[in-house]
Amino acid sequence: MSATSVQPPRDDQPETPGGGSATLAEIARAAGVSAPTVSKVLNGRGDVAPATRSRVEELLRRHGYQRRRGSVQPAPLIDLVFHELESSWAMEVIRGVENVARQESLNVVLSESAGRLSPGQTWVDGVLARRPTGVILVLSGLDPAQRAQLTSRDIPFVVLDPAGDPGEDVPAIGAANWQGGLAATRHLLELGHRRIGVIGGPGGMMCSRARIDGYRAALETAGVAYEADLVRSGDFHHEAGYTAGLALLGRPDRPTAVFTGNDLQALGLYEAARELGLRIPQDVSVVGFDDLPLARWISPPLTTVRQPLTEMAEAAARLVLDLARGRQPSTLRVDLATRLVERASSAPPRAGAEGPAGE
């Protein structure tokens, strides 16, 4: 992966909007500044007073101003921003974006929003100054003002695996999370499990809710009652799987199987099971989600739902480049299929393990 400090060309000439109701000169008059000052704001220049910048940005947003496509040549960059960079999950996404960027002779600028689901204004200012060909936001989103800022500069953006509802007009690439949760739980049901725990991700994330909804749908279809006390949630890290695993597996009526919201949580659950003297899958079956490389390396190898992260990232990169070239996609929302990958961490429950509570 590579980054660059390439600065885009500047232009201080008035431009006409690509669908807005005001020209750059009209924006300047309304703001009480010169047209070159408005152009500085559009180009992310730092030599504009904060109050003036805010006034100009508000007028650009209010009038729906959009820079004419082709009036400024974008830098050969894709901006890729994550809400956090702490696992091989992110590496799979980076690999996919890099695959496309390399084919297109583009560089990738990587950023992290320190766990926030929306990057801050400092990041936006950097994007405006870099003038990239496009932006990909991973598990992140933009507030209306930030979206207006990118749109007014004709900088296309795509959300990958959106944390919340990005809106009908925002291009987004995701995965079939509901179907994945359904497949994971159905697999455990078909093995004979009836008392199935689940560890979900953050409740505010769409992917987490969809996986839990798929779990519930599989139980309902099989005629197995949903038990709220078998449901735990946390972030998508190892520690959350460990803590929730201790709570679930330490019960006298523990579940015979657990579906985790991702593979890192499953890794934490493995640790909890070992600490409690339980064997996988003899005492508890485990199914994860993502199919990261670690799923094949741990012992026993993890049964999991494959989320095609690299392919999702490639699709997001191609989509943002299509938008940059003025091509309108047939649909703004694409969910790639997930599939169950069976390995050695899931097996039928031991005879008598289900008992009355699981019937």
Residues 120 and 15 sit within 8 Å (Cβ to Cβ) = no
Locus of tokens 């220049």: 45
What confidence category does residue 163 fall into, taking pLDDT thresholds of 50, 70 and 90?
Answer: confident
Q: From start to end of 101-241, where are the E strands?
A: 107-112, 132-138, 157-160, 172-175, 196-200, 231-233
DSSP state of 134: E
Residue 108 pairs in a beta bridge with: 78
The pLDDT of 77-84, averaged and rounded, is 94
Question: Model confidence at 70, in pLDDT bands (50, 70, 90)?
Answer: low
Q: How many C-beta atoms lie closer than 10 Å to residue 222's C-beta?
A: 14
On whether the CB atoms of residues 337 and 176 are closer than 8 A, the answer is: yes
10: left (phi over 0), alpha (psi -120 to 50) or beta: beta
Q: In this model, does residue 4 exceed pLDDT 50?
A: no
Model confidence band, residue 305 (pLDDT cutoffs 50, 70, 90): very high
The C-alpha atoms of residue 312 and residue 334 are separated, in whole angstroms, by: 9
Is the pLDDT reported for residue 57 higher than 60?
yes
- Between residues 46 and 296, which one has the greater pLDDT? 296
| DSSP 8-state code for residue 159 | E
- The winner for highest mean pLDDT among 9-13, 24-28, 57-61, 131-135 is 131-135
* Res 9 pLDDT > 50: no
Which domains can be identified in the chain, with CATH numbers? 177-307+340-358 (3.40.50.2300)
User: What's phi and psi for 22, nearest 5 deg?
Assistant: -140, 145
128-142, 210-224, 337-351: which range is least confident on average? Answer: 128-142
244-272: average pLDDT: 98
Return all residues near 228 (Cβ < 8 A) that are at least 6 apart.
none
Checking if the pLDDT of 241 tops 80, the result is: yes
264 vs 115 pLDDT, higher one: 264
Percent of the chain residues topping a pLDDT of 90 = 64
Token output for 144: 């209306």
Q: How confident is the model at residue 252 (pLDDT cuts 50, 70, 90)?
A: very high
Average pLDDT, integer, range 304-322: 98
Least confident of 9-13, 252-256, 304-308: 9-13
How many C-beta atoms lie closer than 10 Å to residue 252's C-beta? Answer: 5
* pLDDT for residue 14: 37
Residue in the structure block whose two tokens are 């005629």: 223
Q: pLDDT at residue 42 above 50? A: yes
* pLDDT confidence bin for 150, thresholds 50/70/90: very high
Structure confidence at residue 183 (pLDDT): 99
Mean local confidence (pLDDT), 266-294? 98
CB atoms within 10 A of CB 337: 12
Arithmetic mean of pLDDT, 33-47: 72
Q: What is the mean pLDDT of the chain?
A: 88
Exposure b/e, 294-332, CB count within 10 A at least 16 = b = bbeebebebbbbbbbbbbbbbbbbbbbbbbbeeeeeeeb
Q: What is the pTM of this model?
A: 0.82
Q: Where are the beta strands (DSSP E) in the chain?
A: 75-82, 107-112, 132-138, 157-160, 172-175, 196-200, 231-233, 257-260, 285-290, 303-306, 333-336, 339-341
Which of 30-34, 42-46, 143-147, 291-295 has maximum average pLDDT?
291-295
Residue 20 in this model has a pLDDT that exceeds 50 = no
Question: Reduced to 3 states, what is the DSSP secondary structure of residue 119?
Answer: coil
Tokens at 346, concatenated: 């899931």
pLDDT at 68 over 70: no
Q: What gap in Å lies between CA 322 and CA 310, rounded to an integer?
A: 18
Sequence-separated (6 or more) residues with CB below 8 Å from residue 91:
none
Rounded mean pLDDT, 221-250: 97
Residue 69 confidence (pLDDT): 58
Question: Of 6, 238, 214, 235, which Cα lies nearest the Cα of 107?
Answer: 6
